[in-house]
Structure 1
Amino acid sequence: MIRYRKIILLSLITLSSYITQAVKDSSDLAVDLDRINRIEMLSRNLFEKLHPTSSLKSGDESKIDFDNNKLPLSEEDFILNSHLLESGVPMQYNEKVEHLINYFATSWQSKLKEMLVVSNYYFPIYEEIFDKYDIPLEIKYLSVIESALNPHAVSVSGAAGLWQFMYATGKLFDLKVNNYVDERRNVEKSTLAACKYLKSMYNIYGDWYLVIASYNCGPGNVNKAIARSGGKKTFWEIYDYLPRETQNYVPAFIAMTYIMNFYEIYGITPSVESNNKPRLVKVECNSDYSFDAICSVLEINPDELKSFNPELKRTSLPSAPNTFSLKLPYEKALLFWQLEDSIDRISERLREWKPPVKEERYVSKSKSGKHKIHKVKKGESLHSIARKFDCKTWQLRAWNGLKSNKIHPGQRLIIKNS
């Protein structure tokens, strides 16, 4: 019965002619447009960053328009469709959820189409980790709301990565941040940290809506809302006492979960991608390996390699006690294992190589500032240099360990301050 209803609905959408209008906004149904616009900005060129060899056709080429920017969706349809998900998180329908479903399916449709493609890479990774921690699989849609599935996303407040961890919170969950790496951008490690946080919040609240709310505004604000509501323990009961962004955050999660599962019913299709999407594989690299050596031997662009490993802040491998897990396209990973000895040899030569010392035209000061370095010029003698710097020739010999007054052009002499 549900299948026939879907076919009928698709036919109606295909045969109808729709007129695009602006989404109507009202105070009681206000969308957190600041966050949504940021997601829209972050998702721009996202697929190309993740997969430089692939391409997406513009989502607007096949954009589906709806009358008054509203999907043909009733509460009954929502309940019947959501029941098919067998979700571990309740799927509740109200005007706020409806408003956001319409927004994601219309004004945000081109980005939604991109998310449907990019999610094919991230969601399997999420689901494997979620399964170990007994986290509902639908929680994966939180990262769409948080970062538009962009590991390079950074908020105004400094939150970073797919799951938008602040620096301090990331540290609490063992995410390393230093001059070389930012593990908040690492897909597996940040997802693992998110699972630990979400699980700890569920142990406190026992309600996934409150857990999701706490992910947005922190448990302190959720606890305040509970207290101000007189001890109520559900999201909708404490709704009026939560920060405005959090009031919209849970409805946005429900809306995103719905539309990313049932987009086909409304004729929406994912962005078209080429078949060149790389399959990434982890290889264990000695931390002494040179980034340049890896790129040279594997014939891979440094920026491309860095895009496959978003936690890297520089085009160099971080120091590690043992090895560093580097992600490479499958074919390049095979090449790495075959030519690792060459990478090791080239890396060693690069470590031993020292750049030529740049000639100094003038007298330079030492780092300590306690003496100067003078480069001997053609025609200069120890006597002339002594006169120039108002010192004695024996002092120049003593300062530089000279056994005689013999010097040569290009030689550097220490001139100590008198």
Structure 2
Amino acid sequence: MFALVDCNSFFASCEKVFRPDLDGKPVAVLSNNDGCIVARSPEAKQLIPMQATLYSVQDLVKQGKLHVFSSNPVLYKDMSRRVIQTLQHFSPEVEQYSIDEAFLGLHGFTKADLTDYGHKIRTTVKQWTGIPVSVGIAKTKTLAKLAAHGAKRHPDLDGVLDFGTLADPDAVLASIDVGEVWGIGRNLKAKLNSMGIKTVLQLKNADERLIKKTFGILGLRTVLELRGTACFPMEPVAAPVTMRIVSRSFGHLVTELSDIKEAVATYTTRCAEKLRADGLVAGHFTVAIRTSYYRAKNQYVAARSVALDPPTHDTAVLIHEAMQLAEAAFTPGYEYLKAKVIATDLTPVGEVQGSLFAAPVDTEKRDKLMQTMDSLNRKLCPDAVKFGALGLKPTWAMRSEYFSQRYTTHWGELPTVKVWQMVKPTSTRLPCKPVR
């Protein structure tokens, strides 16, 4: 048996955890650069469509009918970690599928009422983290995903659906669009529809040979999963990281090489920090820049790469290479919207093969320097210690006019609690004073 725990309106829920005054009010989270709506609370879903631009909902924001927040990935990642830690109390097997979803292995839970267990999971996660979740339980991962989908959309289920308790499962599958099946995207859905398969039940009853011939072994496994045969096992250990990408849009169109280089140096620094956190080094590094896709004229895209010998996660080395790549990719006369850096050919630090032709490097000394920088930046604040290539006051940074605080990861932004206590009166009045 499997359970799929899905955080409801996760980004919006994270913002509400530290803003109890927003309980029951419409909340929406914006994409990078405050472009459009990418997450909505249940109240906001009744008010605005997904992907609505900030400009189109500005009147609602000004009237106080909609509360919007800039994307706060640091907060969301940390809240996701707390949810996963909570789920680990309920099963020895927890597989984090995405930032707001996780599978739990419930194999051997023969004496427990799984519906009650699902409610216990839901209550505990809400109590310990403040995040509401839906729980779907079934014999396979694919059915568990569908069960969680149903639990979220039917209030009478109170957020939990055990597929095995349904009196007529096929009737439920017949009411669900085939596009809701795990792993079926827009293109696969269109192909299935052209074959006359429009509901989950029709896919479940489809001819196995036709499905395998058309969609391969993965398509066949999906059909078998819908029939109750588990084909996708639990994977509690994350797959090895094969690539690291840091990509951001600029706050405004950029024309100067100096701004491009500052942005690339900043993204390279973030990428190097991630590599060190993962215990990896990069053997290949790429810098790419582009203009806006939405402009009919003067479009330009360029990418330049370099092989790193020896592989490294040293910020100074990566910035040095990135600056040369940015200069090679840059062409004057264009208005650039976005840049990204990509680290590939990743290898664990302890498995790097030496080279007879690489220049000698004092690896131990460089590693100590990077560890010291990372430690200071963790204790103080990001970029408390940084390389000069990042600049002092970037003008290209993304817009985030509605940014909330990093309540759980930044000392200067921790929530402050005030407790009011009574003091002995010195007169007929009963004064109170705040105590921190």
Q: TM-score scaled by structure 2?
A: 0.22
| Bigger share in helix | 1
Please say which structure displays the higher CA radius of gyration: 1
| Bigger share in strand | 2
Q: TM-score scaled by structure 1?
A: 0.23
